[in-house]
Amino acid sequence: MNRTKLSNTLRKLKLIYVVDKIRFHIQKFKNRKINRKFKENNPSVVLPPDYLIYESFQMNYHKYYTESVNSAKELVGHIEKHIQLKEKKILDWGCGPARIIRHLPTIVNNGCSFFGTDYNTKTINWCKENIAEVNFNNNNLTANLPYPDDHFDVIYGISVLTHLSEKMHYNWYNELIRVLKPEGIMLLTTQGDNYKTKLSESELEKYNENNLIIRGKVKEGHRTYSAFQPKLFMENLFSNSTILEHIQKEPQNNWIPQDIWIIKK
Ligand SMILES: C[S@@+](CC[C@H](N)C(=O)[O-])C[C@H]1O[C@@H](n2cnc3c(N)ncnc32)[C@H](O)[C@@H]1O
């Protein structure tokens, strides 16, 4: 049985959470030495609880903290092509335990203000207690943010749509557009053509017909809930905005890059 079939069978049998917890412990065990070394070398870095790191990313402190400085710089590079980051309000939607947003006040210290929101209460409680330079909010799964219309200059969401249903793609897109200023910039990542290799035959057929592919049967928004977005699906989603860039990087070694969409309201 291949991995896709196995994953779909585990979902049907409601065993995917158990397998995911086992995967967490395996990653924790495999990375125990490099994680210990990271703590020894970086005693001043405040780390979230292990499961929060795993749930939103990978159980690897170096990747969560050090490598994410580069990811944050890369993100800033993409955004700065379209807007000057000076005295701007920036929102990280689905921020998790602040992997990216915790680095932005150092990378972009130009009078900007920083906000993070996530539907995971534990992760937001940790962020509120530990990351002082960012304003955090705990939202619901449903698309309803406590910010006024036209509030943010920049919004980004890294691997958040990838865990949402079709209905939520539309609802969240509309909500994010509501809180984005006119001419504001939004960057979202998706599982596009690079992820075709992960799809089963029947999923691939539907994907090639430009349908969103959903692997659900688990709590929506959780890491085990997966969505795969064909290009045309995203273009239709963004039909009332201007698409500035659609970036598809080449896969490298074991890394499968998500597509990056940059749009303007
Ligand atoms: C794969 S993680 C990515 C976390 C973070 N963006 C990063 O790159 O490290 C997906 C995140 O989206 C969050 N999420 C899922 N559905 C959400 C929703 N409806 N609203 C806000 N956050 C959501 C999850 O709790 C999780 O933190």
Q: Give the neighbor-by-neighbor strand order of the sheet with 152-157.
A: 135-138, 113-118, 89-93, 152-157, 180-190, 259-264, 242-247
How far CA 127 is from CA of 27, 73, 118, 186, in Å, comes to 23, 20, 10, 23
Look at residue 203 in the predicted model and tell me its pLDDT: 94
**How many other CB atoms are there within 10 angstroms of residue 247's CB atom?**
14
Region 144-160: mean pLDDT is 98
Nearest CA to ligand 1 atom 27: 96
* 163 pLDDT more than 90: yes
Q: What is the pLDDT of residues 82-94, one digit of tens each?
A: 999 999 999 999 9
Cβ partners under 8 Å of residue 257, min gap 6: 194, 248, 249, 250, 251
Q: How many angstroms does the Cα of residue 87 sit away from the middle of ligand 1?
A: 26
For residues 181 and 150, the answer to whether their CB atoms sit within 8 Å is yes
Nearest CA to ligand 1 atom 11: 94
Question: What domains are defined for the chain?
Answer: 3-264 (3.40.50.150)
For residues 177 and 131, the answer to whether their CB atoms sit within 8 Å is no
User: Ligand 1, residues 123, 163, 173, 225: which to mutate, most atoms within 8 A of Cβ?
Assistant: 163
Output DSSP code: residue 248: -
Look at residue 214 in the predicted model and tell me its pLDDT: 96
Q: What is the pLDDT of residues 41-63, one digit of tens each?
A: 999 999 999 999 999 999 999 99
Atom of ligand 1 nearest to the CA of 117: 21
* 4 pLDDT more than 60: yes
Can you give the pTM of this predicted structure?
Answer: 0.96
Cβ(216) – ligand 1 distance below 6 Å: no
Q: How many angstroms does the Cα of residue 75 sit away from the middle of ligand 1?
A: 16
Nearest CA to ligand 1 atom 15: 221
Hey, what amino acid is at 220? E
Look at residue 1 in the predicted model and tell me its pLDDT: 57
Q: How many angstroms does the Cα of residue 97 sit away from the middle of ligand 1?
A: 9
